[in-house]
Structure 1
Amino acid sequence: MSAHVPPTRPVPPGAGAAVEEAPSATKMRKVALASFMGTVIEFYDFGIYATAAALVFANTFFPALGEQAGSVVSYATLGVAFVARPLGSVLFGHFGDRLGRKRTLIFTMSLMGLATVLIGLLPTAADIGTAAPIVLVLLRIAQGVAAGGEWTGAALFTSEHSPKERRGFWAMFTNLGGAFANILALGTFLLTGLYMSDQTFAAWGWRLPFLISIVLVAVGLYVRLRIEETPVFRAEARRRQPGESLPFKEAVAHQGKEILLGAGALVMAFSLGYVGIAFLTGYGTGALHLPRPQVLGAGMFGNLLNCLAIIAGGALTDRFGRRRVLLVANVIGVPWALALFPVLDTGTIGAFWLGMSVTFLIAGVGFGVAGSFLSELFHTRYRYTAAGLSYSLAGVLGGAIPPLVAAGLIGSYGSFVFGIFLAFYCLAGLLCTLALRETRHRDLIQEPA
């Protein structure tokens, strides 16, 4: 399949040299650290919300709905941010494609940090009534808009600095930061839960992980302010001509099909990853009646394996190609989705740890491919917008919908039916990946072939 893209324009003298000059290992480590730290902060904020939604938000902000309905609405507020992510991708994609990756990333980090701290300070429904869940949803939307711009900028920051032959390895640091953030998020909830009673945790202990976020934001801003703009964007800015169309308009017009197929190729990683971080935490403590420390510990261990799988997935793509690694992950995901809940429903701690571990391993391989794959799929002129839209759509379809419908499907038809639902996601990811060509050898300064 060949993407329909506008004709290649000549590169001004000096622009190509800026891109072809091999970056030093020291510089790449600094760039990777900036990308890693940024997504640690952004998705720590995102992750603690997912954990809080599973553990306390139903009773804290939606007590009038009852436990089951409150849990469904609590997961729905988690999904609101995924719906807002495409808006953030378009908004911040415009600025990222026009003003640069660095300045846009600084703003997205600041917005995410502010929204997260305000959630930690938000009065509950018992204090201010219906205003509490309304403000919670608005702050969650702000988180989603920020996340819609953050991931793409961080991924492009590393991929556009990287040498082509190791782009898969360096680009995976963006999602590695997200996986590490999940460990931090679960760890803060585990520590607060261990050192205070359930009543104290539900009353105010859940707020501490949100308030701690302000420290991480300060560190992240410091790291990002010290890194220069990507050479690929600087070269594109030098050759940009006046009167060009909006990045969103160009992206949809020239590579709309690739945006949709790229999103479909990644829905497996999102569905398994966010079922693991959001739904299974509540399923373990609620439906399986397992101790909360053990459930959180299993989540932390699963995300540790997720980190290792992301590293392996990114590195393997440099040797075998983005498409082949993603195909293997999707193929393995289908039977595992069918086996997951029969394993979990044995009700043992060991089975729960096994279920979490394998789920995160498979998702991690998919996430390890995402940064380089989407960066290479789109033209530089609208890459921030197009890659962000593709990733955000995958988040809506794979990250928001499965946790939202899981309780209803399991309650009405049983857990195995929900496993079939997840298997269809993996199958869809497989088919979309098959419809795309390999991207490993593409130069980011050139039009995709």
Structure 2
Amino acid sequence: MLETTAASETPIRRAILGSLVGTSLEWYDFFLYGSAAALVFNKVFFPTFDPLTGTLLSFLTFALGFIARPIGGIIAGHYGDRIGRKKVLLFTVSLMGGSTVAIGLIPSYATIGIAAPTLLVIARLTQGFALGGEWAGGALMIAERAPSAHRGYLTSFVQVGVPIGTLLSTAMLYLMSGILSRDAFLQWGWRVPFLLSIVVVAIGIYIRRRVGESPAFTELKADARTATRAPILNLLKTQPLDVLRVVGIRAGADILYYLLVTFMLTYVTTTLGLPRGVGLLAVLIAAGMQLFTYPAFAALSDRYGRRKVTIFGAAGAIAWMFAFFPLVDTKTTGLIVLAVVGGLFFHSAMYGVQASWICELFETQHRYSGASLGYQLSGIVGGSLAPTIAVALLRASDSTTLVVGYVCAALAVVLVAALLTRETRGGNLQESGAVATTRSAS
């Protein structure tokens, strides 16, 4: 049983629901773009290039969203540390929804020429800006009110928003591509999931309005110690190495994820010549598994420590990469599903603990800024160019060997960074100014 009083159960449950729903909707929008970039955008927005080059350009627009994320993280962190977590989260979910609907309304290249990819880039940058401020706020709304003994498990529900978003976005594209002809899907079917974002955003705003402010921030504000005028500068002055540590433990996990979820869709369709549904089915099943593996590994981190669970995930993923492409290259649906499920199982061990670990590393006065900046910088270093680099390596060598080497090298960095990052489980985040202290695993 969680050691919470009856009075505290409702706030923590509301915080979990608000963060889970909001983050799921944000990732639905963000991943919808990634899947569409792999399957559709090369034909709709870059039709004058050969298929592989068009896909490469689509993935470059996908990467732009990551470039905008640190900017969004810095700005959201600034206001989140000064005016509160809740207000910023309401803004980010609204902005993400609006930009996603806009993508669904952009005419094709055949209709308006170069203006089409230009508008696509603008909308993608807006998506990235919105997501940049989303994750840290959602994680803090739970972490700063969760009991320390179960913080890893409870805060992991922010991470669960990722597979939910993946499931929703992939399922919508899978459904539309399955019930429509190829021409109908390319003409208008792919737009439907983007336009539906307006509905889910309305739900997210309603739920988040009912969630109270974080207790740690409320105490900080009451004590008139609401950070400095520039929380990001205070962060970089006092905890710059912790920002780099976050990048280290996150970037490799991001690279692995986007290889398994985004590059794999292109590989099975363009290189292996399999139907779109094969790759989408593998992603759907693996994302369904992660609904359970994220909380499970996070719960293990409450018992054994964030560091040990992360090291297990990184080491296991390195080993699995040597089996991944041999399984996929069989062109057998069941083995392709197994390849993706196995990879995302080990990814769960790394990603499931990150929400609590990252929040615990930073002081309350600049915790939003620290969590946002570290998390989003790792997106640029890691996930932003991962599909593009993987496609380029595949094209250069006509082999997956370099792709495997690229991912394994990134995962090796995770191992080193985890060893250099202090263990934080059990620390107290509910006192203003608090930062979790090192605690050895028992």
Give the CA deviation at 1:242.
7.8
- Give the SS at the match of 2:18: helix
Residue in 2 aligned with 1:92? 76
2:221 maps to 1:237: yes
Report what 1:432 is aligned to. 417
Could you tell me how far 1:296 is from its partner in structure 2?
Answer: 1.1
Paired position in structure 1 for 2:156 = 172
**CA displacement at 1:23 relative to structure 2:** 6.0
User: Is 1:219 paired with 2:203?
Assistant: yes
Residue 279 (str. 1) matches residue 263 (str. 2)? yes
Aligned equivalent of 1:6: none
2:79 equivalent to 1:111:
no
Report the residue type matching 2:232 in the other structure.
Answer: F
* Separation in structure 2 between the aligned mates of residue 22 and residue 157 of structure 1, nearest angstrom: 19
Assess, with a 3 A threshold, how the Cα gap between structure 1 residues 448 and 317 changes in structure 2: closer, same or farther: closer
TM-score by length of 1: 0.93
Determine what percentage of the aligned residue pairs are the same residue: 37
In 1, the alpha carbon distance for the partners of 2:237 and 2:379 equals: 22
Question: 1:32-67 CA deviation, whole Å, 9 max, x = no partner?
Answer: 111100011100000110110000100111112322
CA contact (8 A) 1:23 1:162 kept: no
Q: Specify which of 340, 353, 357 is matched with residue 373 of structure 1.
A: 357
**Partner SS, residue 156 of structure 1:** helix
Find the partner of 2:336 among 347, 352, 361: 352
Q: Is the 8 A contact 2:44 2:108 kept in 1?
A: yes
Q: Deviations over 1:71-114 (max 9, x none)?
A: 10100111111111111110111010001000000000000000
Partner Cα distance (1:206, 1:438) in 2 = 44
Alpha-carbon distance in structure 1 between the residues aligned to 2:54 and 2:278: 24
Alignment of 1:6-17 (within 5 A): none
Aligned 1:33-48 pairs, distance under 5 A: 33-48=17-32
Distance 1:230 1:23 in 2: 15
Q: Secondary structure at the match of 2:196?
A: helix
Name the counterpart of 1:15: none
- Structure 1 equivalent of residue 236 of structure 2: 252
CA distance in 2, matches of 1:96, 1:243: 10
Once the two structures are TM-superposed, the CA of residue 303 in structure 1 deviates from its matched residue by 0.7
2:196 maps to amino acid: I
Residue aligning to 1:136: 120
- Look up the equivalent residue of 2:18 and give its one-letter code: A
Give 1:337's match in structure 2, choosing from 321, 339, 349: 321
CA distance in 2, matches of 1:448, 1:340: 37
Whole-angstrom CA distance in 1 between matches of 2:322 and 2:374: 27
CA contact (8 A) 2:360 2:435 kept: no
Which of 370, 385, 389 matches 1:386? 370
Number of residue equivalences: 430
Show the counterpart of 2:440.
none
State the distance in 2 between where 1:313 and 1:74 align. Answer: 34
- Please tell me whether residue 416 in structure 1 is matched to residue 378 in structure 2: no
- Aligned partner of 1:436: which letter? T
- Normalising by structure 2, we get a TM-score of 0.94
**Aligned-partner residue type, residue 207 of structure 2:** V
- Aligned-residue offset at 1:422: 0.1
Q: CA deviation at 1:158?
A: 0.8
After the TM superposition, which of the residue ranges 325-334 and 375-384 deviates more from structure 2? 325-334
Q: 1:103 to 1:297 in 2, by over 3 A?
A: same
1:193-212 maps to which residues of 2 (within 5 A)?
A: 193-212=177-196
User: Which deviates more from structure 2 when the two are superposed, residues 308-317 or residues 218-227?
Assistant: 308-317
Q: Deviations over 1:121-146 (max 9, x none)?
A: 11111111101101101110000010
Q: Which amino acid is the alignment partner of residue 303 of structure 1? A: A
RMSD over aligned Cα atoms: 1.5
Matches of 2:291 and 2:346, distance apart in 1: 11
Deviation at 1:21, TM superposition (A): 7.9
Q: Determine if contact 2:59/2:387 at 8 Å carries over to the other structure.
A: yes
Contact 1:268 1:333 in 2 (8 A): no
Question: How many Å apart are 1:335 and its aligned residue?
Answer: 1.5
Paired AA for residue 410 in structure 2: Y
Deviates more, 1:62-71 or 1:214-223: 62-71
**Deviations 1:11-48 (Å, cap 9, x if unpaired)?**
xxxxxxxxx98863333222111110001110000011
